[in-house]
Amino acid sequence: MSLARSVRLSVAALACAGLLSLTACSEDEEPKSATTSETESEVPAAEPSEEESESAPVEGQPEWALPAKTDGDLISTFTVGDVTIEAYQVGTSIATDDGTFVDSETKEPLLAKGDELVFVNYVVTNNGAPVDLGPNLVKITERYDDWEQLIGMEGSFDTALYEEHGLTVEAIDYTKFSEPPVFTFGTGETYSIAHNFRYQPGSPIGFEAEIVPVDAAGQPLEAKRVDGSGRGKIA
């Protein structure tokens, strides 16, 4: 579907971070193991009030991150190096505009206004040593098994659609942004990032993730790149 608009949106767009997201709301539930199919949700705890959500970020978040979102149904767990990624299916919305890309044969938009979108939230945890990241953070992409286009799956940047699910378009709190663009991801820290794409219920899906550390000036260290992948199924 891991510099992604202005210091807010142009940096994330140039880094191709995809669709980023999050709010403060985390529920206490037992960890779930990796799966390649829909997992059953446990009985949810009482929803915190808006005031509680805003004042209770996930423990161990990086200082630069927006409050993490951990709701949804777990559909996959996979690793990239020392980093664990949990993919949660959150909900669906209707696309409000056509996407940018078109089918190579039909010339119809790959994502059309009125298409149903599914939102997947990725909870990303560093289990290893601290690592300095650029605005891409841990880059994550997704692809249905039957996706035949060379280009990846497109989603919507409509912030109102994210808000329907309590998500945001960014993972980074750019009010705390400073140059150079170096975001230290510490040991045991967690952030979340959400993407959306066309909804295909019952479809197997693959996830790809990459970590490219940066130096003190924010320049990528490609020789230290780490890749990982996982599988799941959209409910």
Structure tokens given for 23: 């709010």
Q: Is residue 195 part of a domain?
A: yes
Interacting residues of 101 by C-beta distance below 8 A, sequence separation 6+:
109, 110, 111, 149, 151, 154
Q: Is residue 2 part of a domain?
A: no
Q: What CA–CA distance (Å, rounded) separates 40 from 185?
A: 31
Three-class DSSP category at 141: strand
Q: Is residue 82 part of a domain?
A: yes
Q: Is residue 4 part of a domain?
A: no
Sheet holding 116-126, edge to edge: 73-80, 83-94, 116-126, 190-198
pLDDT tens digits for 48-58? 444 333 434 46
Q: What percent of the chain has pLDDT over 90?
A: 66
pTM attached to this predicted model: 0.74
Look up residue 35 and give its amino acid.
T
Structure tokens given for 50: 């808006």
Q: Is residue 143 part of a domain?
A: yes
pLDDT > 50? residue 90: yes
Structure tokens given for 4: 């992604």
Q: What CA–CA distance (Å, rounded) separates 133 from 186?
A: 10
Exposed, middle or buried: residue 142 (CB in 10 Å: 0-12, 13-18, 19+)? buried
β-bridge mates for residue 87, sequence order: 76, 122
Q: Is residue 3 part of a domain?
A: no
User: Which one is predicted more confidently, 1 or 59?
Assistant: 59
Give the range among 19-28, 148-157, 185-194 with minimum mean pLDDT: 19-28
Give the ranges where 58-196 is alpha helix by DSSP (H): 159-164
Give the range among 38-52, 58-72, 218-232 with minimum mean pLDDT: 38-52
Q: What CA–CA distance (Å, rounded) separates 177 from 183?
A: 9
Q: Is residue 1 part of a domain?
A: no
pLDDT tens digits for 27-46? 444 444 333 333 333 334 44
Q: Is residue 137 part of a domain?
A: yes
Domain assignment of residue 83, given as a range: 9-27+35-233
Quote the number of domains for the chain.
1
Give the range among 47-61, 88-102, 135-149 with minimum mean pLDDT: 47-61
Structure tokens given for 94: 């209707």
Q: What is the pLDDT of residue 178?
A: 81
Integer angstrom CA distances of residue 208 from 102, 178, 228 = 23, 29, 6
pLDDT > 80? residue 3: no
The residue written with tokens 């040991």 in the block is: 187
